[in-house]
Structure 1
């Protein structure tokens, strides 16, 4: 079967949800396969989700609570067996932020406009009700069970250390030392836990047309903790753009933004080590050019300078 054709079982399940469908066009195959499907009620997005780290039911509730303004809702989820799920959502016209960044440099004015919209979306997410009283990851077997934010960060870092021995040999000692030294300060400045998306890579956001409106398509990984964390993660995914520069200004202390950027650079390197054949020294954030190991070092240095 050609790679762009949907398997019969996917078509059957989609039509059980949507009714009779017309044209199917493969829109993305970078992680899970996504098709643009024409139906009697308009174009729909049909995704065959194969990523076991995502908790689509938690994501669906979160997107519903956000409302239609800056997030695309999930209409239906169907279990396809063998760890796969079918996710149906409205199809939106526009350009993924990742594709826009790869196509050409973003002008300063547009970059600051989009940065403002990122701020709005993240602020809205942080105001959503908590799923549990603690800190940490929520969903996919995680219950945000830690009483201290630094304990949640430490537990997840230890989990990643075990999973990524090569990454850990290169960068774990420096990151663990920074977390140890800053634990009390992180706990004090974080405050009560807030809902935060931690997979904010540039494939999860669309510049919708008309109007250049930024829309969140996916929030596959949800934590409860410091609302500054996604601002740090975006320093990687929007590296060397006007958006990254604007998002580092004003809202949160710079040392926390740079700490979270270094922390997540480590996490992405572990993912690269486990699931790809890309040499760690060459790994970059999706669609960006500067290597993750260098970004780790840069942000850890900037963190120290900002303390």
Structure 2
């Protein structure tokens, strides 16, 4: 029996994915955990508190699994990952993929967690991966450009040809109706939406992009994957690139300080947004981030929930 009183705000009702056995999946992203930084729109001095709140939020519910869609840490240094591990005492099984801040880069002189060590700590046997959480197959991809041999020269996302071959074969062996794919960087339709929305705001913004999304979209579209989950942009959104539907997860670190609960059964998937702070915390967050385009876009998106309701009127936003 779930113990937490807050049922969350309805973000979407989707016809797919489906599951024969009802499954509840918690998805969070962009924790940006820091023990030293303060302030900024990511409210670094609250990141430990927000992660603790995410753990409590999950553990107070009947959840079958947890997925972290990248950017576990502020700078990817080992001490930040150690602190993440100390705080992330999730009761259900948890897996993670790396975000652009989590692995080594050539333009940052800090010590970074290696790719093999990230895989050992946070994945079921390496990247990419397929794992079952409840009655759902979760496929995790690595869009960070670092390799075990060399650091990345950019924060832009990329998917290697080896991952694409693995994904194509894996999807051919998977019941795709009961699956979802997780990757940190956003697909083109969501990136285009960010560019269009942010152009209307009185401040400029910039986000590392995805250098080669086309082949990935082609594989996902050909396999009729029902849902791709991304992080990175910090604001909640649903969009389609070709036939591929993407659900972008709001940030734990920045406004609206939330995670998503996916409830999947034979009727489809219900997505709810669960806040991780109270009104005072939201006000503090807005005070730090009111000049940041992604904070304002988060507020705009929340005001138009649900973004999709396939039990009624649908609009993708």
Q: Normalised by the size of structure 1, how large is the TM-score?
A: 0.28
Bigger Rg, structure 1 or 2: 1
Scaled by the length of structure 2, the TM-score of the pair is 0.28
Which of structures 1 and 2 has the larger relative contact order (alpha carbons within 8 angstroms, sep 6+)?
2
